[in-house]
Structure 1
Amino acid sequence: MIMRQLAHFKFFDTLSKKMVAGFIILILIGTVLLSLPWATPANVHTSLIDVLFTSASATCITGLTVVNTAAHWTTFGQLVILVLSEVGALGYMTFAVLLFNIMRRQIGLSTQLMVKASLNLERLSDTKSVMKYVVGLSLLFQLGGLGLLAIDFVPRFGWRHGLYVSLYHAVMSFCNAGFDVFGDSLQGFRNDPYVLTVTMILIIAGGLGFLVWRDVLLYHTRKRLTLNSKLTLLTTFSLFVIGFVLLLITERDLELLPTGMSWVNRTINTLFLSVTPRTAGLITMPTQGLQAGSLLVIMILMFVGGTPGSTAGGIKTTTFGVLMFQSIAQLRGRRDVEFSHRRFSQENINRALMLIFLASIVLTVATLILTQTEKIPKGFGLEYVLFEVLSAFGTVGLSLGLTPNLTLIGKIVIMMLMFIGRVGIFTSLYALSRRQARVNLIRYPAENILIG
């Protein structure tokens, strides 16, 4: 039994290192491609750190940029960012398995284990079936988004450019990446409820998770949903509704928008503002003009993020949901944490608590460093830095204006946060640590201390 546990710890360390190494290699490949002369217009120079930052942001599907994507990069450079975001969102192991299938080669056990870890699967037997849903649903949503957006963009921009921006926007929305080729995100479409609605559908679809989509699509045959899917759907819907209501209150029906805007468009823009912090990063209004209460709501939504096994970041909806039910159970004096006639395991609860604690430590250290290295403009306070830190960790891409003005140290800190947010805090820390796997053979007597 002990030898089996030691082998498990050793394997998990090796797997974490491989996953981290894979993302680092992908970022470096993107850096090389974006450094090529035809990635930027003639006579436009991009420093190495800015190229690396852009590649990391695309691979980690964040969308934070130190340069304007539409103006600074050529079509080639924009397509490199698009491919990096696609691979980063679905996981490089997904494309490796797809290549194996095209070549009709058998997938080895180690490859299946890598896919299992990258998609946060519980059972190894889910690997092949979930892979079909990952590839199929990704194509379905992105091609569907391309077609729906083309209805609006082609008449507006012409066939060639209209199809290009439709493809770009569909991929970035589904991948929750946040890059745009308009120059000002979606601020030019705040009076276009059709584009905003299609975008919201793509964002939610990408952030919901492939396991949840599989359960939903198979519901007609199974007649049930897994506990993970039920918790995900409940938490996602609750955060969406609560975020929408709070933003309606704090923004006073988006009074910062032009006075002539209809209530329908104001409602759609508020809905969009509630959806986009869930790691999408697209925006229809300048974040600098939002009220302090709205910024707080958005920061909470960015911290929670999307669903495990999806294109989203953050601590994930399931973590938040487990801790909410844990708190309710404790307040009611119940020993077990129950949901939908099931009981959460103590291991799940401990893992959620540990994730929250580690994430808080990482965010606190990053915020402290940035307060010492970055200049906070007049009119802003700590939220100017904390907003950026949460946006990077949650792989969101929203900004109050700090990212384009980051110092060298600031760029390194934000890149590390984006990486941790995408790869996962557990995977990142396990890969970086040099601890020896140990199993305690002695357990000391338990004793209570004062809490609270």
Structure 2
Amino acid sequence: MKKIFSKLTPPQVLTFGFLAIIFVGAFILRMPVSQQTGVHVNFLDALFTAVSATAITGLTVVNTAATWSTFGQVVLLVMIEIGALGFMTFAVLLFAITGQRLDLKARLMAQQALNLRNLADVKSVLSYVFSLSAIIQIVGAVLMLPDFIPRFGIGRGIYLSVASSISAFGNAGFTFFDKPVSFLQNDPYILIIWMLLITAGSLGFLVWRDLLLFHRQRRVSLHTKVALNVSGWLIGLSFAMFLFTENVLAPLAHTSSLGHRILDSLFLAVVPRTAGLEVVPLSNISAAGIMIITLLMFVGGTPGSTSGGIKTTTLGILWMQSLAALRGQEQVNFGGRRFSPKIVIKAMMLAVISIVFVAAVSLLLIVTETIPKGQGMEYIVFEVISAFSTTGFSLGLTPHLTNFGEIVIMIVMFIGRVGLYTVMFSVMNIREKPSSYQYPTEEVIIG
């Protein structure tokens, strides 16, 4: 076993590590102790739930609170935690607890899992990741107690506060209430806490480290500058667009005040970037609003965070590259720094491959799944992008998937969490092959 492990590359170890966690979780969920009395879940549905939890997506084929016992829900929360922080992060924690030193391979895997630029950062970043995530989730849970304890009782209130904090920070999209989470749309206190937790998780640990160490370093990295700028613009623009396209959520006017609807619109601008908490029912959102949500889901959060999607930095680099090209500039500059051509090409490749992947999967499901009368292909495409970006929003397809459809969506969620690059470099065994020669250049007419 050790011999086989030594032959695996870091991307392969990460991929197979996540797979191992998923199957172990699925087998535990299949046990009677994990299910509510009188409920029987088949293995495929248990596997789908395990994939969704580990991929911190939130798409479910069964009702979470009505299907899983308290033990089963705790298993889901553990898988969400592992999925949010990363399989390798927990593996390194075991090394630290047992007093073992990290060898070069373990450090390389941790570097891959956390998107670090050099090995020297591994130990300090891992320590920081655990402490920061624990502090944020504990603070989030404590802040929710004054609202949830009077509403649900002491025991249930504490449990729901902890579970909601883990799910929101992990951008998991799972809810553990006995009724739809839309009952909180007039609860600004909880919505603000959730928005802060979701944003904290979606920004990424490297960004938070830069911000927390700013008083000492007096500077932040280019990565942090791009991530913060793109995230801020996405939230601000989408908030303004939702106010316009949804007419300040006019369908909720008979149940919510203007102030509550404005806050709900802000919440709607934050959650599509892979959180998936449906406080505002998608049935109340216009076609234009659904389009905005789809685009936000596709972008997702920041590299090294609990989010999926093509990531904010990818969008930022492509946008700045486009502006530079329109101005006739060959170099892309931002924040007193210049993006390397390799990074620009990598961002373009990720965006193109992601679009092709989503389009191919959508086409496949359009052929195999039943689209309800009155719905179009957006019914399928929305679900695929939601799975790929590990968001968890649904227009209703997931509970009605065929067995084949469930398998396809599971694969999409897994790839969305592990990452297209990791899958290409592990499962598909793609390798970079530098060439020792170059062909002469020739222009091609475009546009």
**TM-score, normalised by the number of residues in structure 1:** 0.96
Does the CA-based 8 Å contact 1:177-1:281 persist in structure 2?
yes
Give how far 1:260 is off.
4.4
Give the Cα–Cα distance (whole angstroms) in 2 for the partners of residues 257 and 292 of structure 1.
16
Match of 1:280?
275
Task: Answer yes or no: is 1:383 the counterpart of 2:365.
Answer: no
- Corresponding residue for residue 75 of structure 2: 80
The one of 426, 440, 445 aligned to 1:445: 440
Look up the match of 1:401.
396
* 3-state SS of paired residue (1:361): helix
Native 8 Å contact 2:14 2:87 kept in 1: no
Preserved CA contact (<8 Å) 2:111 2:117: yes
Instruction: Note if 1:271 corresponds to 2:255.
Output: no
Shift of 1:448: 1.2
Match 2:162 to one of 149, 162, 167: 167
Structure 1 stretches of 5 or more lacking a match? Answer: 1-10
Q: Distance in 1 between matches of 2:436 and 2:217?
A: 44
Report the counterpart of residue 143 of structure 1 in structure 2: 138
Cα distance change of structure 1 residues 77 and 342 upon mapping to structure 2, 3 Å threshold: same
2:204 corresponding residue in structure 1: 209
CA distance in 2 between partners of 1:353 and 1:129 (Å): 31
Does the 8 Å contact 2:14/2:109 carry over to 1?
A: yes
1:308-366, Cα deviation, whole Å (9 max, x unpaired):
00000000000000001001001111111110111100000000000011101110110
User: Displacement, 1:435?
Assistant: 4.8
Measure the CA separation in 2 of the matches of 1:57 and 1:135. Answer: 22
How far apart, in 2, do the equivalents of 1:62 and 1:290 lie?
A: 21
Which residue of structure 2 lines up, in the alignment, with residue 423 of structure 1?
A: 418
Residue pair 1:207, 1:312 contacting (<8 A) in 2 also? yes
Q: Find the aligned partners of 2:432 and 2:423 in 1 and give their Cα distance.
A: 17
2:303 to 299, 308, 314: 308
Distance 1:195 1:420 in 2: 32
Alignment partner of 1:290 out of 285, 289, 292: 285
Identity of aligned residues (%): 47
State the match for 1:256 in structure 2. Answer: 251
Q: TM-score, normalised by structure 2?
A: 0.97
Look up the match of 1:61. 56
Question: Does residue 130 of the first structure (1) align with residue 125 of the second (2)?
Answer: yes
Question: Does the CA-based 8 Å contact 2:53-2:83 persist in structure 1?
Answer: yes
Task: Tell me the residue number matched to 2:184.
Answer: 189
Runs (4+) off by over 6 Å:
none
2:222 matched to 1:224?
no
What is the aligned partner in structure 1 of residue 364 from structure 2?
Answer: 369
TM-fit CA distance, 1:183:
4.2
Aligned partners of 1:295, 1:436: CA distance in 2, in Å? 38
Letter in 2 for 1:154: I
Match of 1:115 in 2: 110
State the shift of 1:285 in Å: 2.2
2:46 to 18, 43, 51: 51
User: For residues 260 and 36 of structure 1, do their structure 2 counterparts lie closer, same or farther at Cα, with a shift above 3 Å needed?
Assistant: closer
In structure 1, what residue type is equivalent to 2:344? I
The question of 1:345 aligning with 2:344 is answered no
Q: Which residue of 2 aligns with 1:7?
A: none
Secondary structure class of the residue paired with 1:256:
helix
Q: Which residue of 1 aligns with 2:312?
A: 317
Aligned pair 1:238/2:233, yes or no?
A: yes
Partner SS state of residue 63, structure 1: coil
Kept after mapping to 2: 8 A contact 1:13/1:430: no
1:125 partner SS = helix
Say if 1:185 and 1:282, in contact at 8 Å, map to a contact too: no
Residue type of the alignment partner of 2:321:
Q
Aligned residues: 442
Secondary structure, in 3 states, of the residue corresponding to 2:399? helix
Aligned counterpart, 1:410: 405
Q: CA, structure 1 residues 260+401, in 2 after alignment: closer, same or farther (shift >3 Å)?
A: closer
Following TM superposition, by how much is the alpha carbon of 1:288 offset from its aligned partner in structure 2, in angstroms?
2.5
Q: Is the 8 A contact 1:190 1:284 kept in 2?
A: yes
- 1:77-108 deviation digits (Å, cap 9, x = unpaired): 11111000000110111112222222222111
Counterpart Cα distance in 2 of 1:183 and 1:63: 16
CA deviation map 1:188-227 (0-9, x unaligned): 1111000000000000000100000000000001111100
The 3 A distance-change label for structure 1 pair 114 and 185 is farther
Residues 425 and 431, structure 2, Cα contact 8 Å, conserved in 1: no
> What CA distance in whole angstroms lies between the structure 1 residues aligned with 2:7 and 2:158?
43
What letter is aligned with 1:310?
A: S
Are 2:29 and 1:29 aligned?
A: no
CA pair 348-392 structure 1, distance change in 2 beyond 3 A? same
Q: Is the 8 A contact 2:141 2:165 kept in 1?
A: yes
Higher mean C-alpha deviation, range 181-190 or range 277-286: 181-190
Q: How big is the shift at 1:405?
A: 0.3
Answer yes or no: is the 8 Å Cα contact 1:306–1:313 preserved in 2: yes
Q: Deviations over 1:358-387 (max 9, x none)?
A: 101110110001101111112211111111
Residue type at the aligned position of 1:98: L
- The amino acid across from 2:421 in the alignment is F
2:41 partner letter:
T
Structure 2 residue matching 1:181: 3-state secondary structure: coil
Q: Give distance in 2, aligned partners of 1:437 and 1:348.
A: 15
- Tell me, yes or no, if structure 1 residue 20 matches structure 2 residue 19: no
Listed one character per residue, the Cα deviations across residues 28-68 of structure 1 (whole Å, up to 9, x for unaligned) are 01011101111112331111111110000000000000000
Give how far 1:431 is off.
1.4
Query: Bigger shift: 408-417 or 94-103?
Result: 94-103
Q: Deviations over 1:6-28 (max 9, x none)?
A: xxxxx998222111101100100
| 1:373-411 deviation line (CA, Å, top 9, x unaligned) | 111112211111111011000000000000000011111
Q: What corresponds to 1:3 in structure 2?
A: none
CA distance in 2, matches of 1:12, 1:310: 28
- Partner SS for 1:397: coil
Change beyond 3 A, Cα 1:13–1:325: farther
> Structure 2: which 5+ runs fail to align?
1-5
